[in-house]
Amino acid sequence: MLQGKSAVITGSTSGIGFGIAKVLARAGANIMLNGFADAATIDACKAEIAGLNVKVAFNPCDVSKADQVEGMIDSTLQALGSVDIMVNNAGIQFVAPVEEFPLAKWDAVLGTNLSAAFYATRKVVPLMKAKGWGRIINIASVQGLVGSLGKAAYVAAKHGLVGLTKVVGLETAGSGVTCNAICPGWVLTPLVQQQIDAIAARDGLDNTAASEKLLSEKQPSLQFVQTEDVGAMALYLCSDAAQQVTGTALSIDGGWAAR
């Protein structure tokens, strides 16, 4: 379905980003990977994507820096020939009560989770409009729709990302370009595993019991969303069937937001 198209996916050397990369590559898309990882991990990710018979490249840019994001898009054009799909996935987390929240952590979370998506979108929209086709997919969070204790910066950034999605969806309507947000609940990524480990250490639980405790607090299905479930939703948004889906926030959260 995506043969001849190219996708840039930020934060794609692990977790949700790499899951999306694999799904889009299986559909024929060339992939620009991005993220912070050691050389062995990067090489393994590139090899796995290349094994799906598509082109693959890697750019190590810090997505919180506008000039580096623009450079990544330029390098994608050189390496892969086009930017047809932009997946803004990179994210970081910090937890503290609002009155104790460090200013530097606020700036870092907003920079990586929100500003980065703006920088990339600003750069790729003209390219996509000129071709009359493009897909911008922002990986927000169910916490872009609801609040959560101790996560002032993350929740603010993800709510902002949903708002950005609506504006870009409106501004590109009718152009062949769509912009949508995917809002996952708990996905078993390294970031979430850290929270499970913290619960296990705090409450003296094993990994299974700690996982169940985490899920029971928010996610009625009591099951983790899989990274490739998010990839499948991204693939749908790239399809012709979704050409009139734009400016939306799509939940994949086991019922979290329905509470």
The residues carrying an active-site annotation are 154
Task: Please report the beta strands in the chain, taking only residues with DSSP state E, as ranges in sequence order.
Answer: 6-9, 30-34, 56-59, 85-88, 134-139, 177-184, 249-252
Phi and psi (nearest 5°) for 183?
-120, 85
Contact 134, 128 (CB under 8 A): yes
Q: What's the half-sphere exposure (Cβ side, CA atoms, 13 Å) at 24?
A: 34
CB atoms within 10 A of CB 239: 13
Contact 199, 210 (CB under 8 A): yes
Alpha helix stretches (DSSP H) within 53-151: 66-80, 103-110, 116-131
- 225 three-state secondary structure: strand
Phi and psi (nearest 5°) for 187?
-115, 135
Phi and psi (nearest 5°) for 63?
-70, -10
